[in-house]
Structure 1
Amino acid sequence: MKNVYRIEFHSGSKEELFPDFTPDFPYTASCSQLDQFMGRFVPWHWHKTVELFYMESGRMEYCTPKGTMIFPAGSGGMVNSNVLHMTRPQAESEKNIQLLHIFDPSFIAGHHGSRIEQKYVTPITAAPQVEIIPLSPEDPVQANILDDIRESFHLSENDFGYEVKLRETLSDIWIRLLAISRPLLEEKGDHSKANDKIKTMMVYVHEHFGEKISISEIAAAAFSSERECFRAFHDCLHMTPVEYINNYRLQMACHLLANGREPITSISHACGLGSSSYFGKVFREYMGCTPLEYRRKWQDSDI
Protein backbone atom coordinates (compact mmCIF):
# COMPACT_ATOMS: atom_id res chain seq x y z
CA MET A 1 0.00 0.00 0.00
CA LYS A 2 1.37 3.40 -1.00
CA ASN A 3 1.38 6.39 1.35
CA VAL A 4 -0.17 9.43 -0.36
CA TYR A 5 0.33 13.10 0.53
CA ARG A 6 -0.97 14.74 -2.67
CA ILE A 7 -2.94 13.90 -5.76
CA GLU A 8 -2.00 14.30 -9.43
CA PHE A 9 -4.22 14.94 -12.45
CA HIS A 10 -4.34 13.90 -16.09
CA SER A 11 -3.15 16.84 -18.21
CA GLY A 12 -6.11 16.60 -20.58
CA SER A 13 -9.27 15.81 -18.65
CA LYS A 14 -7.98 16.85 -15.21
CA GLU A 15 -9.33 13.64 -13.78
CA GLU A 16 -7.28 12.25 -10.90
CA LEU A 17 -4.22 10.35 -12.13
CA PHE A 18 -3.28 6.94 -10.71
CA PRO A 19 0.28 6.15 -11.87
CA ASP A 20 0.12 2.52 -10.63
CA PHE A 21 -2.83 1.66 -12.86
CA THR A 22 -2.24 -0.73 -15.77
CA PRO A 23 -4.79 -2.05 -18.32
CA ASP A 24 -4.30 -5.60 -17.06
CA PHE A 25 -4.77 -4.63 -13.38
CA PRO A 26 -6.72 -1.34 -12.94
CA TYR A 27 -6.37 -1.14 -9.17
CA THR A 28 -4.32 0.57 -6.49
CA ALA A 29 -4.40 0.75 -2.70
CA SER A 30 -3.25 3.79 -0.76
CA CYS A 31 -2.99 5.23 2.71
CA SER A 32 -3.96 8.89 2.55
CA GLN A 33 -2.66 11.04 5.42
CA LEU A 34 -4.71 14.16 4.85
CA ASP A 35 -3.33 16.01 7.85
CA GLN A 36 0.00 16.02 5.99
CA PHE A 37 -1.38 17.17 2.62
CA MET A 38 -0.35 20.61 1.41
CA GLY A 39 -3.29 22.81 2.32
CA ARG A 40 -4.80 19.95 4.37
CA PHE A 41 -7.47 19.16 1.77
CA VAL A 42 -8.02 17.45 -1.58
CA PRO A 43 -9.52 19.90 -4.12
CA TRP A 44 -12.59 19.26 -6.27
CA HIS A 45 -11.90 16.43 -8.71
CA TRP A 46 -13.42 13.30 -10.23
CA HIS A 47 -12.36 9.94 -11.64
CA LYS A 48 -13.94 7.06 -13.52
CA THR A 49 -12.66 4.70 -10.84
CA VAL A 50 -14.65 4.00 -7.70
CA GLU A 51 -13.20 4.86 -4.29
CA LEU A 52 -13.82 2.39 -1.48
CA PHE A 53 -12.46 3.70 1.81
CA TYR A 54 -12.11 3.11 5.53
CA MET A 55 -11.34 5.80 8.12
CA GLU A 56 -8.50 4.58 10.31
CA SER A 57 -8.34 7.77 12.39
CA GLY A 58 -9.63 11.35 12.43
CA ARG A 59 -12.81 12.76 10.92
CA MET A 60 -13.13 13.31 7.18
CA GLU A 61 -15.52 15.68 5.43
CA TYR A 62 -16.64 14.69 1.92
CA CYS A 63 -18.29 17.38 -0.21
CA THR A 64 -20.24 16.54 -3.39
CA PRO A 65 -22.70 18.56 -5.49
CA LYS A 66 -25.55 17.20 -3.33
CA GLY A 67 -24.05 18.12 0.03
CA THR A 68 -21.58 17.16 2.74
CA MET A 69 -21.04 13.96 4.71
CA ILE A 70 -18.84 13.46 7.77
CA PHE A 71 -16.93 10.20 8.24
CA PRO A 72 -15.42 9.61 11.72
CA ALA A 73 -12.85 6.95 12.54
CA GLY A 74 -14.32 3.46 12.11
CA SER A 75 -16.71 4.51 9.33
CA GLY A 76 -16.21 4.36 5.58
CA GLY A 77 -18.00 4.20 2.28
CA MET A 78 -17.74 4.26 -1.48
CA VAL A 79 -17.52 7.24 -3.83
CA ASN A 80 -19.20 6.41 -7.12
CA SER A 81 -17.65 6.63 -10.56
CA ASN A 82 -17.25 10.15 -12.05
CA VAL A 83 -18.64 11.91 -8.98
CA LEU A 84 -17.28 15.38 -8.29
CA HIS A 85 -15.96 15.54 -4.74
CA MET A 86 -13.51 17.23 -2.42
CA THR A 87 -12.28 16.15 1.00
CA ARG A 88 -10.83 17.79 4.09
CA PRO A 89 -10.27 16.85 7.74
CA GLN A 90 -12.69 18.32 10.24
CA ALA A 91 -10.07 19.13 12.88
CA GLU A 92 -6.88 21.08 12.30
CA SER A 93 -4.63 19.16 14.68
CA GLU A 94 -5.75 15.50 14.76
CA LYS A 95 -4.08 12.73 12.78
CA ASN A 96 -6.20 11.83 9.77
CA ILE A 97 -5.58 8.46 8.09
CA GLN A 98 -7.77 7.03 5.36
CA LEU A 99 -7.26 3.64 3.69
CA LEU A 100 -8.45 3.41 0.09
CA HIS A 101 -9.10 0.84 -2.60
CA ILE A 102 -9.23 2.63 -5.96
CA PHE A 103 -10.33 0.50 -8.90
CA ASP A 104 -11.96 0.70 -12.30
CA PRO A 105 -15.43 -0.92 -12.30
CA SER A 106 -14.11 -3.35 -14.95
CA PHE A 107 -11.87 -4.86 -12.27
CA ILE A 108 -14.88 -6.74 -10.90
CA ALA A 109 -17.24 -6.48 -13.91
CA GLY A 110 -14.96 -8.13 -16.47
CA HIS A 111 -15.28 -7.20 -20.13
CA HIS A 112 -17.63 -4.41 -21.23
CA GLY A 113 -21.19 -5.64 -21.67
CA SER A 114 -20.74 -8.72 -19.51
CA ARG A 115 -23.67 -10.10 -17.53
CA ILE A 116 -21.90 -9.21 -14.28
CA GLU A 117 -21.51 -5.62 -15.41
CA GLN A 118 -25.15 -5.32 -16.48
CA LYS A 119 -26.69 -7.00 -13.40
CA TYR A 120 -24.44 -5.84 -10.58
CA VAL A 121 -22.07 -3.03 -11.54
CA THR A 122 -23.90 -0.64 -13.87
CA PRO A 123 -26.96 -0.30 -11.55
CA ILE A 124 -24.65 1.58 -9.16
CA THR A 125 -22.16 3.32 -11.46
CA ALA A 126 -24.90 4.62 -13.79
CA ALA A 127 -27.13 5.90 -10.98
CA PRO A 128 -26.83 9.73 -10.76
CA GLN A 129 -28.57 9.76 -7.36
CA VAL A 130 -25.76 7.64 -5.86
CA GLU A 131 -22.81 9.93 -5.17
CA ILE A 132 -21.54 8.26 -1.99
CA ILE A 133 -22.66 5.10 -0.22
CA PRO A 134 -21.88 5.78 3.47
CA LEU A 135 -21.18 2.98 5.94
CA SER A 136 -21.62 3.37 9.69
CA PRO A 137 -20.33 0.97 12.39
CA GLU A 138 -23.56 1.60 14.30
CA ASP A 139 -25.55 -0.41 11.74
CA PRO A 140 -24.84 -4.18 12.18
CA VAL A 141 -24.97 -4.98 8.44
CA GLN A 142 -22.80 -2.01 7.53
CA ALA A 143 -20.42 -2.78 10.42
CA ASN A 144 -19.76 -6.22 8.90
CA ILE A 145 -18.95 -4.64 5.56
CA LEU A 146 -16.62 -2.16 7.26
CA ASP A 147 -14.83 -5.03 9.03
CA ASP A 148 -14.23 -6.72 5.68
CA ILE A 149 -13.03 -3.50 4.06
CA ARG A 150 -10.55 -2.99 6.88
CA GLU A 151 -9.35 -6.60 6.71
CA SER A 152 -8.99 -6.47 2.91
CA PHE A 153 -6.04 -4.08 3.27
CA HIS A 154 -4.10 -6.91 4.95
CA LEU A 155 -4.01 -8.96 1.73
CA SER A 156 -0.37 -9.21 0.64
CA GLU A 157 0.84 -8.76 -2.93
CA ASN A 158 3.47 -11.38 -2.15
CA ASP A 159 0.92 -14.13 -1.48
CA PHE A 160 0.15 -16.65 -4.21
CA GLY A 161 -3.22 -15.85 -5.78
CA TYR A 162 -3.26 -12.27 -4.43
CA GLU A 163 -4.96 -10.79 -7.51
CA VAL A 164 -7.74 -13.40 -7.51
CA LYS A 165 -8.29 -13.11 -3.75
CA LEU A 166 -8.44 -9.31 -3.98
CA ARG A 167 -10.99 -9.35 -6.80
CA GLU A 168 -13.04 -11.94 -4.92
CA THR A 169 -13.00 -9.80 -1.76
CA LEU A 170 -13.93 -6.57 -3.55
CA SER A 171 -16.65 -8.36 -5.52
CA ASP A 172 -18.18 -9.66 -2.28
CA ILE A 173 -18.09 -6.18 -0.73
CA TRP A 174 -19.60 -4.72 -3.92
CA ILE A 175 -22.58 -7.08 -3.98
CA ARG A 176 -23.35 -6.20 -0.36
CA LEU A 177 -23.11 -2.49 -1.16
CA LEU A 178 -25.58 -3.08 -3.99
CA ALA A 179 -27.95 -4.82 -1.57
CA ILE A 180 -27.97 -2.04 1.04
CA SER A 181 -28.28 0.70 -1.60
CA ARG A 182 -31.37 -0.75 -3.30
CA PRO A 183 -33.77 1.79 -1.70
CA LEU A 184 -31.61 4.62 -3.07
CA LEU A 185 -31.38 3.00 -6.49
CA GLU A 186 -35.17 2.80 -6.67
CA GLU A 187 -35.44 6.57 -6.31
CA LYS A 188 -35.72 8.54 -9.51
CA GLY A 189 -32.41 10.08 -10.44
CA ASP A 190 -31.97 12.19 -13.55
CA HIS A 191 -28.55 12.80 -15.05
CA SER A 192 -27.55 16.40 -14.46
CA LYS A 193 -26.31 18.29 -17.51
CA ALA A 194 -24.82 20.81 -15.09
CA ASN A 195 -22.51 18.07 -13.83
CA ASP A 196 -21.06 17.54 -17.30
CA LYS A 197 -20.85 21.26 -17.99
CA ILE A 198 -19.08 22.09 -14.72
CA LYS A 199 -16.33 19.57 -15.50
CA THR A 200 -15.76 21.18 -18.90
CA MET A 201 -15.65 24.62 -17.30
CA MET A 202 -13.25 23.40 -14.62
CA VAL A 203 -10.93 22.01 -17.30
CA TYR A 204 -10.97 25.39 -19.03
CA VAL A 205 -9.91 27.10 -15.80
CA HIS A 206 -7.18 24.50 -15.23
CA GLU A 207 -5.77 25.10 -18.70
CA HIS A 208 -5.92 28.92 -18.60
CA PHE A 209 -5.42 29.80 -14.93
CA GLY A 210 -2.25 31.80 -15.70
CA GLU A 211 -4.16 34.08 -18.08
CA LYS A 212 -6.89 36.65 -17.62
CA ILE A 213 -10.15 34.65 -17.63
CA SER A 214 -13.63 36.05 -18.15
CA ILE A 215 -16.89 34.40 -17.13
CA SER A 216 -18.05 34.51 -20.75
CA GLU A 217 -14.98 32.49 -21.82
CA ILE A 218 -15.61 29.86 -19.15
CA ALA A 219 -19.28 29.63 -20.16
CA ALA A 220 -18.43 29.41 -23.87
CA ALA A 221 -16.13 26.44 -23.22
CA ALA A 222 -19.23 24.44 -22.22
CA PHE A 223 -21.53 26.11 -24.79
CA SER A 224 -23.41 27.79 -21.95
CA SER A 225 -24.57 31.27 -21.03
CA GLU A 226 -22.99 33.24 -18.22
CA ARG A 227 -26.13 32.69 -16.20
CA GLU A 228 -25.84 28.91 -16.65
CA CYS A 229 -22.17 29.15 -15.70
CA PHE A 230 -22.93 30.85 -12.40
CA ARG A 231 -25.70 28.34 -11.68
CA ALA A 232 -23.46 25.34 -12.44
CA PHE A 233 -20.69 26.54 -10.12
CA HIS A 234 -23.20 27.35 -7.38
CA ASP A 235 -25.12 24.06 -7.65
CA CYS A 236 -22.12 21.74 -8.08
CA LEU A 237 -19.20 23.38 -6.26
CA HIS A 238 -21.11 25.72 -3.94
CA MET A 239 -19.02 28.74 -4.99
CA THR A 240 -18.85 31.37 -7.73
CA PRO A 241 -16.69 30.97 -10.86
CA VAL A 242 -14.39 33.76 -9.63
CA GLU A 243 -13.94 32.02 -6.26
CA TYR A 244 -13.06 28.79 -8.05
CA ILE A 245 -10.54 30.55 -10.32
CA ASN A 246 -8.81 32.19 -7.36
CA ASN A 247 -8.81 28.97 -5.32
CA TYR A 248 -7.30 27.03 -8.21
CA ARG A 249 -4.63 29.68 -8.81
CA LEU A 250 -3.66 29.54 -5.16
CA GLN A 251 -3.56 25.73 -5.22
CA MET A 252 -1.14 25.89 -8.15
CA ALA A 253 0.91 28.54 -6.35
CA CYS A 254 1.20 26.20 -3.35
CA HIS A 255 2.42 23.43 -5.65
CA LEU A 256 5.06 25.66 -7.27
CA LEU A 257 6.24 27.04 -3.93
CA ALA A 258 6.65 23.59 -2.43
CA ASN A 259 8.29 21.95 -5.43
CA GLY A 260 10.48 24.59 -7.05
CA ARG A 261 12.88 27.45 -6.55
CA GLU A 262 11.28 30.08 -8.78
CA PRO A 263 11.13 33.62 -7.32
CA ILE A 264 7.87 34.52 -5.55
CA THR A 265 7.18 37.23 -8.15
CA SER A 266 7.53 34.72 -11.00
CA ILE A 267 5.11 32.30 -9.33
CA SER A 268 2.63 35.11 -8.73
CA HIS A 269 2.57 36.07 -12.41
CA ALA A 270 2.62 32.44 -13.61
CA CYS A 271 -0.52 31.74 -11.59
CA GLY A 272 -2.36 34.84 -12.77
CA LEU A 273 -2.23 36.50 -9.35
CA GLY A 274 -0.58 39.76 -10.41
CA SER A 275 1.90 41.67 -8.27
CA SER A 276 3.87 40.04 -5.46
CA SER A 277 2.23 42.37 -2.91
CA TYR A 278 -1.29 41.31 -3.96
CA PHE A 279 -0.16 37.68 -4.10
CA GLY A 280 1.20 37.93 -0.56
CA LYS A 281 -2.07 39.41 0.69
CA VAL A 282 -4.41 36.81 -0.84
CA PHE A 283 -2.03 33.94 -0.07
CA ARG A 284 -1.94 34.87 3.63
CA GLU A 285 -5.76 35.03 3.69
CA TYR A 286 -5.94 31.61 2.01
CA MET A 287 -3.16 29.73 3.84
CA GLY A 288 -2.59 31.73 7.03
CA CYS A 289 1.08 32.36 6.24
CA THR A 290 3.24 34.19 3.68
CA PRO A 291 4.38 32.47 0.45
CA LEU A 292 7.95 32.39 1.77
CA GLU A 293 6.90 30.84 5.07
CA TYR A 294 4.89 28.24 3.17
CA ARG A 295 7.89 27.41 0.95
CA ARG A 296 10.18 26.97 3.92
CA LYS A 297 7.68 24.76 5.71
CA TRP A 298 7.12 22.32 2.85
CA GLN A 299 10.61 22.28 1.38
CA ASP A 300 12.04 21.55 4.84
CA SER A 301 9.46 18.80 5.35
CA ASP A 302 10.40 15.12 5.15
CA ILE A 303 7.23 14.36 3.16
Structure 2
Amino acid sequence: MVEQEVRNAAGEVLPAWSLGKQGQAQNEAERLDHRRCGGRTGVAHLALSHQQQCATSTKAECVSIDVLYPTVSRRRRSLITPRKPRGTGEWVAAAVVGVILSAALRQGAHAAMSALPAIALIVVPVGLGCAGLVVTARRARRSALARADRHRLTGVRLALAQLDTLDPTGFEHAVRDLMIRDGINARHVGQRGDQVADVLGQDQTGRIFVAQCKHTTTAARVPVRIIYEVNGTARPVHRADEAIIVTNGGFTRDARIQAAKFGIHLIDRDRLHQWAHDGVTLQTMLRYPVTLH
Protein backbone atom coordinates (compact mmCIF):
# COMPACT_ATOMS: atom_id res chain seq x y z
CA MET A 1 0.00 0.00 0.00
CA VAL A 2 1.33 3.42 -0.86
CA GLU A 3 1.62 5.64 2.18
CA GLN A 4 0.52 9.14 1.25
CA GLU A 5 2.39 11.92 2.98
CA VAL A 6 0.46 14.81 4.45
CA ARG A 7 2.23 18.12 4.86
CA ASN A 8 1.29 21.32 6.62
CA ALA A 9 1.60 24.87 5.30
CA ALA A 10 5.32 24.93 6.22
CA GLY A 11 5.98 21.80 4.20
CA GLU A 12 6.56 19.53 7.19
CA VAL A 13 5.39 15.93 6.98
CA LEU A 14 2.54 15.22 9.40
CA PRO A 15 1.55 11.76 10.68
CA ALA A 16 -1.83 10.52 9.61
CA TRP A 17 -3.05 10.36 13.22
CA SER A 18 -2.48 14.13 13.56
CA LEU A 19 -5.37 14.78 11.14
CA GLY A 20 -8.02 13.29 13.39
CA LYS A 21 -10.80 11.09 12.17
CA GLN A 22 -11.86 13.50 9.41
CA GLY A 23 -8.31 13.90 8.20
CA GLN A 24 -7.74 10.14 8.24
CA ALA A 25 -10.91 9.60 6.22
CA GLN A 26 -9.74 12.18 3.72
CA ASN A 27 -6.30 10.55 3.64
CA GLU A 28 -7.89 7.16 3.04
CA ALA A 29 -10.00 8.57 0.18
CA GLU A 30 -6.85 10.13 -1.20
CA ARG A 31 -5.04 6.78 -1.17
CA LEU A 32 -8.00 5.09 -2.89
CA ASP A 33 -7.96 7.75 -5.57
CA HIS A 34 -4.20 7.34 -5.92
CA ARG A 35 -4.67 3.58 -6.34
CA ARG A 36 -7.41 4.06 -8.99
CA CYS A 37 -5.18 6.38 -10.93
CA GLY A 38 -2.49 3.71 -11.10
CA GLY A 39 -0.14 5.43 -8.75
CA ARG A 40 -0.38 8.76 -10.64
CA THR A 41 -1.69 11.92 -9.15
CA GLY A 42 -5.18 12.51 -10.60
CA VAL A 43 -7.58 15.40 -10.74
CA ALA A 44 -9.56 14.14 -7.76
CA HIS A 45 -6.35 13.80 -5.77
CA LEU A 46 -5.31 17.35 -6.62
CA ALA A 47 -8.73 18.64 -5.63
CA LEU A 48 -8.60 16.79 -2.31
CA SER A 49 -5.08 18.00 -1.62
CA HIS A 50 -6.22 21.53 -2.39
CA GLN A 51 -9.09 21.22 0.07
CA GLN A 52 -6.78 19.93 2.75
CA GLN A 53 -4.22 22.67 2.23
CA CYS A 54 -6.88 25.43 2.11
CA ALA A 55 -8.19 24.13 5.42
CA THR A 56 -4.81 24.73 7.04
CA SER A 57 -3.49 27.61 4.91
CA THR A 58 -3.99 31.32 4.81
CA LYS A 59 -6.07 33.08 2.16
CA ALA A 60 -2.96 34.18 0.26
CA GLU A 61 -1.64 30.62 0.20
CA CYS A 62 -5.00 29.34 -1.11
CA VAL A 63 -4.86 31.90 -3.91
CA SER A 64 -1.41 30.65 -4.89
CA ILE A 65 -2.77 27.11 -5.03
CA ASP A 66 -5.61 28.34 -7.28
CA VAL A 67 -3.01 29.71 -9.65
CA LEU A 68 -1.07 26.44 -9.65
CA TYR A 69 -4.16 24.27 -10.23
CA PRO A 70 -6.66 26.39 -12.17
CA THR A 71 -8.41 23.37 -13.74
CA VAL A 72 -9.04 21.89 -10.30
CA SER A 73 -9.69 24.82 -8.03
CA ARG A 74 -11.98 26.79 -10.33
CA ARG A 75 -14.75 25.65 -12.67
CA ARG A 76 -13.84 26.44 -16.27
CA ARG A 77 -16.19 28.97 -17.85
CA SER A 78 -17.56 28.41 -21.35
CA LEU A 79 -17.90 32.15 -22.13
CA ILE A 80 -15.71 35.18 -21.50
CA THR A 81 -17.43 37.52 -19.08
CA PRO A 82 -16.71 41.20 -19.83
CA ARG A 83 -15.60 43.39 -16.96
CA LYS A 84 -14.48 46.94 -16.38
CA PRO A 85 -10.76 47.68 -16.73
CA ARG A 86 -8.78 47.53 -13.52
CA GLY A 87 -5.92 49.87 -12.92
CA THR A 88 -4.41 52.63 -15.00
CA GLY A 89 -2.74 50.26 -17.47
CA GLU A 90 -5.97 48.50 -18.44
CA TRP A 91 -7.79 51.83 -18.82
CA VAL A 92 -5.05 53.12 -21.10
CA ALA A 93 -5.18 49.91 -23.16
CA ALA A 94 -8.98 50.16 -23.43
CA ALA A 95 -8.70 53.79 -24.56
CA VAL A 96 -6.15 52.86 -27.23
CA VAL A 97 -8.40 50.06 -28.53
CA GLY A 98 -11.36 52.46 -28.61
CA VAL A 99 -9.39 55.03 -30.61
CA ILE A 100 -8.25 52.37 -33.08
CA LEU A 101 -11.81 51.03 -33.55
CA SER A 102 -13.20 54.55 -33.98
CA ALA A 103 -10.59 55.36 -36.62
CA ALA A 104 -11.35 52.09 -38.42
CA LEU A 105 -15.09 52.85 -38.43
CA ARG A 106 -14.53 56.37 -39.76
CA GLN A 107 -12.27 55.05 -42.48
CA GLY A 108 -14.83 52.40 -43.44
CA ALA A 109 -17.64 54.99 -43.55
CA HIS A 110 -15.50 57.31 -45.67
CA ALA A 111 -14.71 54.47 -48.08
CA ALA A 112 -18.41 53.57 -48.32
CA MET A 113 -19.38 57.19 -49.03
CA SER A 114 -16.66 57.44 -51.66
CA ALA A 115 -18.02 54.31 -53.35
CA LEU A 116 -21.64 55.55 -53.45
CA PRO A 117 -21.32 57.43 -56.79
CA ALA A 118 -19.83 54.37 -58.47
CA ILE A 119 -22.54 52.16 -57.00
CA ALA A 120 -25.20 54.62 -58.15
CA LEU A 121 -23.81 54.58 -61.69
CA ILE A 122 -24.41 50.84 -61.72
CA VAL A 123 -27.61 50.50 -59.69
CA VAL A 124 -29.62 53.39 -61.20
CA PRO A 125 -29.32 52.31 -64.86
CA VAL A 126 -30.03 48.70 -63.92
CA GLY A 127 -33.11 49.75 -61.93
CA LEU A 128 -34.39 51.95 -64.73
CA GLY A 129 -33.81 49.18 -67.21
CA CYS A 130 -35.75 46.69 -65.09
CA ALA A 131 -38.60 49.17 -64.64
CA GLY A 132 -38.67 49.76 -68.38
CA LEU A 133 -38.84 46.03 -69.04
CA VAL A 134 -41.74 45.66 -66.61
CA VAL A 135 -43.68 48.53 -68.21
CA THR A 136 -43.00 47.17 -71.71
CA ALA A 137 -44.11 43.69 -70.68
CA ARG A 138 -47.34 45.03 -69.19
CA ARG A 139 -48.11 47.06 -72.30
CA ALA A 140 -47.41 44.07 -74.50
CA ARG A 141 -49.71 41.94 -72.34
CA ARG A 142 -52.52 44.51 -72.52
CA SER A 143 -52.09 44.78 -76.29
CA ALA A 144 -52.18 41.02 -76.66
CA LEU A 145 -55.35 40.80 -74.57
CA ALA A 146 -56.96 43.59 -76.58
CA ARG A 147 -56.12 41.82 -79.85
CA ALA A 148 -57.55 38.59 -78.49
CA ASP A 149 -60.77 40.36 -77.47
CA ARG A 150 -61.11 42.04 -80.88
CA HIS A 151 -60.57 38.70 -82.59
CA ARG A 152 -63.13 37.06 -80.34
CA LEU A 153 -65.69 39.81 -80.89
CA THR A 154 -65.09 40.33 -84.61
CA GLY A 155 -68.44 40.30 -86.36
CA VAL A 156 -70.43 40.14 -83.12
CA ARG A 157 -74.08 41.11 -83.59
CA LEU A 158 -76.57 41.76 -80.81
CA ALA A 159 -80.31 42.08 -81.37
CA LEU A 160 -82.38 44.54 -79.40
CA ALA A 161 -84.40 41.67 -77.97
CA GLN A 162 -81.19 40.23 -76.50
CA LEU A 163 -80.16 43.57 -75.04
CA ASP A 164 -83.60 44.09 -73.49
CA THR A 165 -83.29 40.87 -71.47
CA LEU A 166 -80.03 41.93 -69.83
CA ASP A 167 -79.73 43.52 -66.41
CA PRO A 168 -77.97 46.93 -66.11
CA THR A 169 -74.53 45.38 -65.52
CA GLY A 170 -74.96 42.97 -68.43
CA PHE A 171 -75.95 45.89 -70.64
CA GLU A 172 -72.76 47.74 -69.64
CA HIS A 173 -70.68 44.69 -70.58
CA ALA A 174 -72.45 44.48 -73.93
CA VAL A 175 -71.57 48.12 -74.67
CA ARG A 176 -67.97 47.40 -73.74
CA ASP A 177 -67.85 44.39 -76.13
CA LEU A 178 -69.26 46.47 -78.97
CA MET A 179 -66.57 49.11 -78.40
CA ILE A 180 -63.87 46.42 -78.43
CA ARG A 181 -65.33 45.03 -81.65
CA ASP A 182 -64.82 48.46 -83.23
CA GLY A 183 -61.11 48.59 -82.28
CA ILE A 184 -61.39 50.52 -79.01
CA ASN A 185 -59.46 49.19 -76.03
CA ALA A 186 -62.36 49.37 -73.58
CA ARG A 187 -62.87 48.21 -70.01
CA HIS A 188 -65.88 48.09 -67.72
CA VAL A 189 -65.64 50.44 -64.73
CA GLY A 190 -69.28 50.79 -63.72
CA GLN A 191 -69.87 50.42 -59.98
CA ARG A 192 -70.81 52.54 -57.02
CA GLY A 193 -68.77 55.73 -57.07
CA ASP A 194 -67.84 55.37 -60.77
CA GLN A 195 -68.19 59.14 -61.30
CA VAL A 196 -70.82 58.75 -64.02
CA ALA A 197 -68.81 56.39 -66.22
CA ASP A 198 -69.61 52.77 -66.96
CA VAL A 199 -67.13 52.05 -69.77
CA LEU A 200 -63.77 53.71 -70.50
CA GLY A 201 -61.89 53.16 -73.74
CA GLN A 202 -59.10 54.42 -75.95
CA ASP A 203 -58.57 53.86 -79.65
CA GLN A 204 -55.32 53.52 -81.57
CA THR A 205 -55.11 57.28 -82.17
CA GLY A 206 -55.24 57.99 -78.43
CA ARG A 207 -58.79 59.30 -78.30
CA ILE A 208 -60.50 58.59 -74.95
CA PHE A 209 -64.12 57.42 -74.88
CA VAL A 210 -66.42 57.58 -71.86
CA ALA A 211 -69.76 55.79 -72.05
CA GLN A 212 -72.63 56.10 -69.58
CA CYS A 213 -75.16 53.27 -69.98
CA LYS A 214 -78.86 53.46 -69.13
CA HIS A 215 -80.79 50.23 -69.41
CA THR A 216 -84.59 50.21 -69.19
CA THR A 217 -87.26 47.55 -69.28
CA THR A 218 -90.16 50.02 -69.64
CA ALA A 219 -89.04 52.04 -72.69
CA ALA A 220 -88.27 54.91 -70.34
CA ARG A 221 -86.54 58.06 -71.60
CA VAL A 222 -83.32 59.44 -70.12
CA PRO A 223 -83.93 62.84 -68.45
CA VAL A 224 -81.85 65.98 -68.85
CA ARG A 225 -80.40 65.50 -65.36
CA ILE A 226 -78.19 62.66 -66.70
CA ILE A 227 -76.82 64.99 -69.39
CA TYR A 228 -75.64 67.44 -66.76
CA GLU A 229 -74.08 64.67 -64.68
CA VAL A 230 -72.14 63.28 -67.65
CA ASN A 231 -71.00 66.71 -68.71
CA GLY A 232 -69.73 67.40 -65.17
CA THR A 233 -67.36 64.40 -65.07
CA ALA A 234 -66.63 63.13 -68.60
CA ARG A 235 -64.06 65.77 -69.51
CA PRO A 236 -63.02 67.27 -66.15
CA VAL A 237 -62.55 63.89 -64.41
CA HIS A 238 -62.00 61.27 -67.14
CA ARG A 239 -60.31 63.54 -69.73
CA ALA A 240 -62.71 62.25 -72.36
CA ASP A 241 -62.49 63.26 -75.98
CA GLU A 242 -65.84 61.62 -76.70
CA ALA A 243 -68.66 61.43 -74.13
CA ILE A 244 -71.45 59.00 -74.99
CA ILE A 245 -74.77 58.02 -73.39
CA VAL A 246 -76.18 54.69 -74.55
CA THR A 247 -79.71 53.46 -73.80
CA ASN A 248 -82.10 50.85 -75.12
CA GLY A 249 -84.87 53.39 -74.55
CA GLY A 250 -84.95 57.08 -75.56
CA PHE A 251 -84.13 60.64 -74.45
CA THR A 252 -86.36 63.52 -73.49
CA ARG A 253 -86.40 66.60 -75.74
CA ASP A 254 -84.64 68.69 -73.08
CA ALA A 255 -81.95 66.01 -72.78
CA ARG A 256 -81.35 66.08 -76.55
CA ILE A 257 -81.15 69.88 -76.64
CA GLN A 258 -78.69 70.04 -73.75
CA ALA A 259 -76.57 67.17 -75.14
CA ALA A 260 -76.21 69.05 -78.42
CA LYS A 261 -74.99 72.12 -76.51
CA PHE A 262 -72.45 70.13 -74.47
CA GLY A 263 -71.26 68.04 -77.43
CA ILE A 264 -72.37 64.76 -75.83
CA HIS A 265 -73.24 61.89 -78.20
CA LEU A 266 -76.56 60.12 -77.70
CA ILE A 267 -77.26 56.55 -78.83
CA ASP A 268 -80.95 55.79 -78.48
CA ARG A 269 -82.82 52.60 -79.34
CA ASP A 270 -82.79 53.18 -83.10
CA ARG A 271 -79.07 53.95 -83.25
CA LEU A 272 -78.34 51.11 -80.86
CA HIS A 273 -79.94 48.75 -83.37
CA GLN A 274 -77.66 50.10 -86.12
CA TRP A 275 -74.60 49.77 -83.91
CA ALA A 276 -75.25 46.41 -82.24
CA HIS A 277 -77.22 44.52 -84.91
CA ASP A 278 -76.29 46.09 -88.24
CA GLY A 279 -72.57 46.39 -87.41
CA VAL A 280 -72.12 50.15 -87.98
CA THR A 281 -68.97 51.14 -86.08
CA LEU A 282 -69.10 53.49 -83.12
CA GLN A 283 -66.72 55.89 -84.89
CA THR A 284 -69.27 56.20 -87.69
CA MET A 285 -72.16 56.59 -85.24
CA LEU A 286 -70.42 59.54 -83.58
CA ARG A 287 -70.47 61.49 -86.85
CA TYR A 288 -74.25 61.55 -86.81
CA PRO A 289 -75.73 64.77 -85.41
CA VAL A 290 -77.97 64.67 -82.36
CA THR A 291 -81.60 64.66 -83.43
CA LEU A 292 -84.20 66.58 -81.42
CA HIS A 293 -86.92 63.98 -81.67
**TM-score normalised by the chain length of structure 1:** 0.22
Between Structure 1 and Structure 2, the one with more helix by share is: 2
- If asked which structure has higher relative contact order (CA below 8 Å, sep 6+), I would say 1
Asked which structure has the greater CA Rg, the reply is 2
**TM-score normalised by the chain length of structure 2:** 0.22
Between Structure 1 and Structure 2, the one with more strand by share is: 1
